[in-house]
Homo-oligomer: A and B are copies of this chain.
Amino acid sequence: MKYFTTVNDVHSVKDLVEDALHFKKDPSCFSNFGKNKTLGLIFLNPSLRTRLSTQKAAMNLGMNVMVMNLDKEGWALEFEDGAIMNGNKAEHIKDAAAVIGQYCDIVGIRCFPGLLSRQEDYSEKVLINFMKHCSIPVVSLESATLHPLQSLADLMTIQETWNKPSKPKVVLSWAPHVKALPQAVANSFSEWMVKSNVDFTITHPAGYELNEEYTKGATITTNQQKGLEGADYVYVKNWSSYMDYGQINCRDEAWMLTKEKLRATNQAKIMHCLPVRRNIEISDQLLDGPDSLTLLQASNRVYAAQAVLKKLIDYRIPEGGNVRVTMGKEKNLS
């Protein structure tokens, strides 16, 4: 695997989840595997979980880590190809990416969308520039449209807490929020769920339909109560409109997940990627109750990242080497 930016980069989702669960049991099992390898973690936006869990994962593998807030500690970046750089942007992303590729063996990059232009955000300019220009394996630390490290940890969390022979019903339930948020976590959770052995439903207000590329195969309903019926897992998340791009079209507080709403479920477990707006997206009662999996999800981020980094390190082994190279489906960057 050279890139980890979407579920489509993964050869076998099942195997990757198993790797992650194995790392959870024995975090030190490959503690020298990354020796003398350097992971660069590049942030263009805030990060708590991703920042710390990915560092921890790399250290568990014996890697060196360099963390950089590129926007604050480096130079203001130009993203346009062919730009005449006479403004405030001091460095072109393609130069920055190429240079970073010289200093690292794997690079992780976080870049949120601007939520002003759907076309621009969904073109994934920053991530694609890194993949094009930095020559080394790239792991998304949440891009404009997807957050695969989160989704892998989410799937892992569902798998380790599910002990019945039947498929669990998993519901992604839109929640209110005071700010316009990216669709990335929702897109990503959806594209992973439809590839997994679960019965997957999405419920959101009208106008909050996600890009079908990610939701194909999911049951979609604008009736939250109906969506929640019989749910085993409820994943709560806000996102701004994809169709009326970046807008907040619904402020209906009734979409907050509360204990009452769970009556229709199968004693559902509650999931959220965090940070969560308490008593706006989900009530304190649920978040602090026994059915919340949010801390487990956060904890699993380490092992998800560890499994991914392990595969990206594998890619660096020269082809003549005696370690099997596990190839993911690589992005066509033409």
Contact = CB atoms under 8 A, between A and B. Distances in A.
A308 to B, nearest CB: 16
Interface in A203-251: none
Q: Taking each of A73, A82, A280, which has the highest tally of chain B beta carbons within 10 Å of its own beta carbon? A: A73
A8 interface: no
Interface of A is mostly: mixed
B47 A36 contact: no
A31 B36 contact: yes
Interface string A41-82: 001001111011101100100001010111011110010001
A278 B103 CA distance: 22
B103 A56 contact: yes
A185 interface: no
A34 interface: no
For chain A, the bracket of interface size reads 35 or more
A295 interface: yes
A47 B59 contact: no
Interface in A255-301: 274-280, 284, 287, 294-295, 298-299
Given A66-B55, A85-B278, A102-B302, A48 B36 contact: no
Given A99-B298, A102-B302, A48 B75 contact: yes
Given A91-B48, A95-B276, A280-B84, A59 B38 contact: yes
A52 B277 contact: no
B48 A96 contact: yes
A111 B75 CA distance: 15
Contacts of A47: 73-74
**How many copies altogether?**
3
Given A279-B82, A284-B82, A52 B295 contact: no
Contacts of A49: 99
Nearest to A56: B103
Interface in A26-46: 28, 31, 36, 38, 40, 43, 46
Nearest to A84: B279
A68 B85 contact: no
Cβ-closest 6 pairs across A and B: A91-B275, A48-B74, A102-B299, A85-B277, A84-B279, A52-B103
